[in-house]
Structure 1
């Protein structure tokens, strides 16, 4: 079945995460797409009840598309740590919940603590990957979903203040800096989100001239 092409000039970025919204806007900018975030439209955040990145990305994109009556793009992504059996995975943001908002310093400390417990210390298996499912949805219920990933290892202590979430502890394979230390343009070129985005562009958007 052929992919549906995006022909509108504007879409909703179905996220209240300012870091994600900023990255997605930067990726869409070359294609002349106007974006507005779910937070700017005061759209409610739907409960993420699915058990996969793809399921949650589709749930969020469809909710925003129907509420705003325009196409919506949603990202569901997270950190999957090998020694932790893929956790925190789809619960990556929830590991940062403190009762007073999200604190990824707390989440990164928990990941390191549980890794050390499993490894019997700070050495051992530190492999991890970021995974991203990206869904473009229309108000009529049609969805197009693509998944990307990037492999690396976790470092401790955290390094860098760029990016967001778990970026300061994730060092992608082939690099000596973490996502938290990396120039945003360099991160965009290799990230899990970029890999999913490339597939989305090929399938649904007009290519850059």
Structure 2
């Protein structure tokens, strides 16, 4: 009987301590920038849920003024305004790339113009491929185009949209385009030779002695 009495007292004290801890933790909990603790926010939410009137709007008491009219320049200043710069993103720009439809229309027009020229062969002609294989003339022309592209013959025009403008691809000396630099095999041999000298503890000037 005595033990049961003390057990009840201990259980009640535990419940009271747990409740006080819960209340204190809620009261000292962070506000997360809202200015209210979690318990205060919970109380406000419960009060708004059972209230008959809705919450006050956030813009209550805000005074809105009408937007002012545009400030126009004086009549004498209108003639001195700077003329807008014309846009360069149009088809009249020489750097503007052709669409596939425009390319085909241009090739058709060229074919009609050179209809009386026996030496002209249109790129649209289907005779360039016979039986799924290129003819000798087509292969020769493809080889010439590849060589011309390798030598930089098309530096004055853009062949694809990823190519930079021609002004960024000009060189002061065309001979620099044929200079391929030092061969990679020669560089590799030089690196091996330098590594062998470094590992042997000798320097290059010791080889001359």
Q: TM-score, normalised by structure 2?
A: 0.19
Q: TM-score, normalised by structure 1?
A: 0.19
Larger strand proportion of the pair: 1
Larger RCO: 1 or 2 (CA < 8 Å, sep 6+):
1
User: Whose Rg is larger?
Assistant: 2
